[in-house]
Amino acid sequence: MSAAESGPAPAFDPNDPGFGELRAGNLGVRIANRPDEIDAAQALRYRIFYEEMGARPDAATLASRRDVDEYDGVADHLLVIDHDLGDGARAVVGTYRLIRRPAADRVGHFYSAAEYDLGVLLNGGIELLELGRSCVDVPYRTRGTLQLLWRGIAAYVLRHRLDLMFGCASLPGTDLDALAPQLTFLHHNYLAPAAIRPRALPHRYVEMSRLDPTTLNARAVLNDLPPLVKGYLRLGGFVGDGAVLDEQFNTTDVCVIVKCDLITGKYFKHYERKLGAPLAS
């Protein structure tokens, strides 16, 4: 039975582990709750990462036309649904993968641990959320869609009382000369405080400070950053020490860190009454 047949999507309830759906016009955002919805997210990821962005598939990925790894089975998958296309899997137009520490523990480590030393985060006594595998289909790459995704993440953060978000954000391509202005700008303007600053693993470390920062046109460089990276920065985000080349995905990765209260502040007063306890520490 489709959602249309069973009635309207429920309002967001932070006491519900899956929470309901947040709506903005024809678009909604919620956590995937069926295997076919996760499959649709993996198919979307394949189209964006491999067909559009030039990632290099192995034989299994090429045959399945799905972007799949060991974390998909333990993660929560945030979906953007276009209800004008229907409901459920056929209407998935955006996705974000969310991994909390208990889920990462089932695999043995966070995904980002393959690129960064996360010790300062893991040993900090804080509740962590790793963000990754974010993509949105071409017609939906608007500010409104990105804002809806952030509303979904904020709701998820509130539900699970998380303290800090992090993940590998990608700059397109692996040409370090072409990316030198962006990497230099990020390093000199958004380097994380030492207490929450992951560092690229020694064998993968790429120096980010590649140019004299005084020669940069900050406005132009900021405009050239991918929208998702700019979104993190607008939320008060930082970057870790060092970049990493991801040859498979044809990207240069930076570790982004965001304190959760920076995205949830405007949601606190509205939802803390439903949680029955203050959310501020």
Q: Could you state, in order of their start, the residue ranges of all structural domains in the chain? A: 3-275
> What pLDDT does 261 receive?
86
**Tens digit of pLDDT at every position of the chain (281 positions):** 333 333 333 344 444 545 689 999 999 999 999 999 999 999 999 999 999 999 999 999 999 999 999 999 999 999 999 999 998 899 999 999 999 999 999 999 999 999 999 999 999 899 999 999 999 999 999 989 988 999 999 999 989 999 999 999 999 999 999 999 999 999 999 999 999 999 999 999 999 999 999 999 999 999 999 988 998 998 899 999 999 999 999 999 999 999 998 777 655 544 444 444 433 32
**88 alpha carbon, distance to own chain's centre:** 21
CATH number of 3-275: 3.40.630.30
Pick from 76, 80, 78, 55: nearest CA to 66: 55
Pick from 224, 96, 210: nearest CA to 150: 96
What is the rounded CA–CA span in Å between residue 107 and residue 130? 13
